[in-house]
């Protein structure tokens, strides 16, 4: 289940994509347009900055801006940064300890298959496919 954090992150990215060209976009504007608490967005945006998807500058005229074109940003990247993991089961998450039952596990192949399906879907879905203009 994708949490609000991941879903809001995508909406922030869409908003920034649709308002790029007009320089930096203040988070206040994004929050108002998207009807999301600015305070909460600060947390989300930090992940996106940390993942080098966007950058921010302070002061008047400041705000956030995409670091790449929307065609070159996948939804998968956004979710990877904001959700802990996109994996459907714990034993396939990054950095989890290897499951002792893995060798004999009868369900692992199915989970792996689904995992690949999921990652392929979101990695192939570009931000540009979600924007209006």
Shortest distance, position 10 Cβ to a second copy, whole Å:
6
Does 14 bind a second copy (CB under 8 A)? Our answer is: yes
Nearest-5° angle of CA 38, CA 84, CA 96? 160
- Token pair 């979101």: residue: 122
Cα–Cα distance for residue pair 112/81, rounded to 1 Å: 21
Rank residues 8 and 24 by Cβ distance to a second copy and give the closer one. 8
Does 49 bind a second copy (CB under 8 A)? Our answer is: no
Rank residues 67 and 131 by Cβ distance to a second copy and give the closer one. 131
78 binds, among DNA, a second copy, none (CB under 5 to 8 A by kind): none
Site for a second copy in 51-110 (CB under 8 A): 75, 85, 87-90, 106-107, 110
Q: Which of 7, 38, 65, 119 binds a second copy (CB under 8 A)?
A: 7
Question: What is the chain's percent helix, strand, coil content, to nearest 5?
Answer: 55, 10, 40
Cα–Cα distance for residue pair 27/15, rounded to 1 Å: 10
């Amino acid at each position: 289940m994708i949490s609000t954090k991941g879903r809001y992150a995508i909406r922030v990215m869409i908003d920034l994509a649709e308002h790029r060209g007009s320089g930096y976009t203040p988070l206040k504007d994004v929050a108002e347009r998207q009807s999301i608490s600015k305070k909460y967005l600060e947390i989300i945006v930090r992940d996106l900055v940390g993942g080098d998807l966007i950058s921010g500058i302070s002061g008047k005229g400041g705000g956030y801006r995409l670091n790449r074109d929307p065609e070159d940003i996948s939804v998968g990247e956004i979710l990877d940064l904001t959700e802990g993991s996109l994996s459907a089961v714990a034993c396939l998450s990054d950095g989890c300890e290897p499951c002792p039952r893995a060798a004999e596990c009868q369900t692992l192949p199915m989970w792996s298959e689904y995992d690949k399906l999921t990652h392929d879907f979101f990695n192939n879905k570009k931000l540009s496919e979600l924007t209006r203009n």
